[in-house]
Amino acid sequence: MSEINYSQPDPQAALQSEIQAHLFNADGQPRTVGVIGYPVEHSLSPALQNAAFAYYKLPHRYQKWAVAPEELKAFLEKVKREEFLGLNVTVPHKQAVLPALDETDEVVKLTGAANTLLADNGKLAGYNTDPAGFLEALKNEVNFDPRGKRTMVIGAGGAARGVVLALASQGASEIAVANRTYDKAVDLVAQFAPIFPNSHIYATPLDPASWPFNRNPRALVVNATSQGLLEPDKEFPVSAEALSGRDPDRHTIFFDLTYGDTPFLKMVRPLAAHVLDGLTMLVYQGAQGFEFWTGLAAPISVMLEAARTALAEREKGH
């Protein structure tokens, strides 16, 4: 990944009294914030969010709660009652939280999932920060704008849905959705193609023999499958050459939504203009959450470093 010197927000200048008031309860205690999942102990979100709170010298401790599916409803009622600052939501609750939300936006409706909740005045608003986080990561890390670009998304689950929405919303000219189970790619495309008529969004099997020839290489290929998570020691099933298209000049950016040095990234690196991994995505989607909750600019490089350190420690522990 390219090294970028971020200019970090000024922690003193940003902490105006109005923002401060929102961050604390009437009794002066910091409002509660954290992540729910099941399981949740391996979540890296506490590391990156606590680094951001510490950057602003705020006393909040971002927590993690293992909430079983049958406990979810009661937990969300508590979040409303006790006026939490907000929550991140991870597997398996991203869809299950929807009925408890008082407000959602178009991104939640189109992806069918919320990963960030905002509690206010006894109400819960839900957002999905994945698509915006994905786009911010591309813009800030590798200066990539999808407008007018040929792209491919591998996978057709929830993660792929967020990526297709992000790319289509920014006017990618072509989005090939390649999936091992072809019918799932067809279903995904059927949802998005009518909403974004200016992008050519089409389904294809995960088999280069069925990909149409085009003289131009793909500008971006995103691995939104769980292959690297499920089979970390196996090779990715499709070659880098086939994924990038005709690319003698290393024009293609490859983005794997799984953390770390995945089989996909190992394979594509020699052919890649840039590679990005899922930890970058985690940080940028988390940065959006931090900004929603606090109204403060997220200190991206501090959060990235904290996430990388936490991942390295987690991997040592295994």
Binding residues for ligand ATR, rule: CB under 6 A, are 155-160, 179-181, 184, 206, 224-227, 230-231, 237
Q: For residues 120 and 200, what is the distance between their CA atoms, to the nearest angstrom? A: 40
The DSSP code sequence of 277-292 is -HHHHHHHHHHHHHHH
Residue facing ligand ATR at closest CB distance: 157
Other C-beta atoms within 10 Å of 142: how many? 18
Contact 62, 303 (CB under 8 A): no
Q: Which of 134, 121, 45, 43 is nearest to 84 (CA)?
A: 121
The label of the residue with tokens 């959006």 reads 288
Closest to ligand ATR by CB, 25 vs 226, is 226
- Give the C-alpha distances (Å, rounded to integers) separating 115 from 40, 47, 87, 100, 126: 14, 17, 8, 13, 7
| Minimum CB distance to ligand ATR, residue 185 (Å) | 8
| Minimum CB distance to ligand ATR, residue 206 (Å) | 6
Closest to ligand ATR by CB, 51 vs 163, is 163
The DSSP code sequence of 130-150 is HHHHHHHHHHHHH----TT-E
Torsion angle defined by CA atoms of residues 183, 185, 186 and 192, in that order, rounded to the nearest 10 degrees:
150
Active-site positions read: 94
Task: Please provide residue 125's backbone torsions phi and psi, each rounded to the nearest 5 degrees.
Answer: -105, 145
Sheet holding 174-179, edge to edge: 200-205, 174-179, 150-154, 220-223, 253-256, 274-276
Closest to ligand ATR by CB, 30 vs 237, is 237
Q: For residues 243 and 149, what is the distance between their CA atoms, to the nearest angstrom? A: 15
| Minimum CB distance to ligand ATR, residue 231 (Å) | 5
Closest to ligand ATR by CB, 32 vs 225, is 225
| Minimum CB distance to ligand ATR, residue 200 (Å) | 20
| Minimum CB distance to ligand ATR, residue 225 (Å) | 3
| Minimum CB distance to ligand ATR, residue 227 (Å) | 4
